[in-house]
């Protein structure tokens, strides 16, 4: 039987051992098959992506504004889950609403198929290929291991996850991702990697929320928090 959201990704043994706690949901079982370890996760109730679509439908139906208490409640859970893996020096690299699942009122982070560990004496990782989901990928994720204008190697690390978090928060606020108006891969690629491109922010009553989105979506990865 096909079970939604079950894990079929292979994961490095070290990562598996590190993230078996809290809001990171790798805990129910491990099946060893030769050199690989398969994760078996418990069945989850609903993905954040689906929950958001239901929330927006409710808002449209009843002409409601975004409930900031609702947003704050789930945003804090998202941050807690991501902070848990970052404290273990793990970069997820594919943060998006579909990878946060709600069960018994709490959000869980899943899908570590392309997660990578950071060496203890660094803050970044180097990758063999570009990874992530396009609408949530940071500018540097497109250019990992390439050289910048100064000849320095572009590396991906926790700031890339922070960018993805900014895209998720933007989507929670505006019901779309920051670059949703660009429909093709190359159109999105062009604006995401253009440091002079200004992201459009709609009217918002909470200036702190606006500032948070802007900080997460700073083009310069050293300016994100």
Strand-pairing partners, residue 156, are: 125
Choosing from 12, 94, 150, 198, the catalytic residue is 94
Comparing C-alpha atoms, which of 134, 124, 194 is closest to residue 155? 124
**What is the length of the chain?**
225
Q: What is the distance between the terminal CA atoms of the chain, rounded to a whole angstrom? A: 42
> What CA–CA distance (Å, rounded) separates 77 from 23?
8
> What CA–CA distance (Å, rounded) separates 137 from 94?
8
Q: Could you confirm whether 94 is annotated as catalytic?
A: yes
Catalytic residue list: 94
């Amino acid at each position: 039987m096909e079970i939604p959201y079950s894990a079929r990704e292979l994961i490095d043994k070290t990562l598996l051992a590190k993230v078996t706690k809290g809001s990171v949901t790798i805990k129910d079982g491990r099946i060893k098959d030769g050199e690989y370890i398969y994760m078996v996760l418990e069945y989850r109730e609903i993905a954040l992506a689906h929950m958001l679509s239901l929330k927006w439908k409710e808002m449209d139906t009843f002409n409601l504004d975004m409930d900031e208490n609702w947003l704050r409640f789930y945003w804090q859970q998202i941050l807690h889950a991501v902070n848990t893996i970052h404290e273990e020096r793990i970069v997820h690299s594919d943060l998006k609403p579909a990878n946060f699942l709600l069960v018994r009122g709490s959000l869980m982070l899943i899908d570590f198929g392309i997660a990578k560990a950071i060496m203890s004496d660094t803050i970044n990782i180097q990758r063999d290929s570009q990874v992530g989901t396009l609408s949530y990928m940071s500018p540097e994720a497109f250019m990992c291991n390439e050289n910048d204008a100064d000849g320095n190697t572009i590396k991906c690390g926790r700031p890339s996850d922070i960018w993805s978090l900014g895209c998720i928060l933007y989507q929670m606020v505006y019901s779309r991702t920051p670059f949703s108006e660009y429909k093709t891969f190359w159109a999105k690629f062009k604006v995401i990697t253009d440091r002079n491109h200004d992201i459009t922010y709609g009217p918002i009553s909470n200036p702190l929320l606006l500032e948070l989105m802007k900080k997460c979506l700073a083009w310069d990865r050293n300016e994100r928090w």
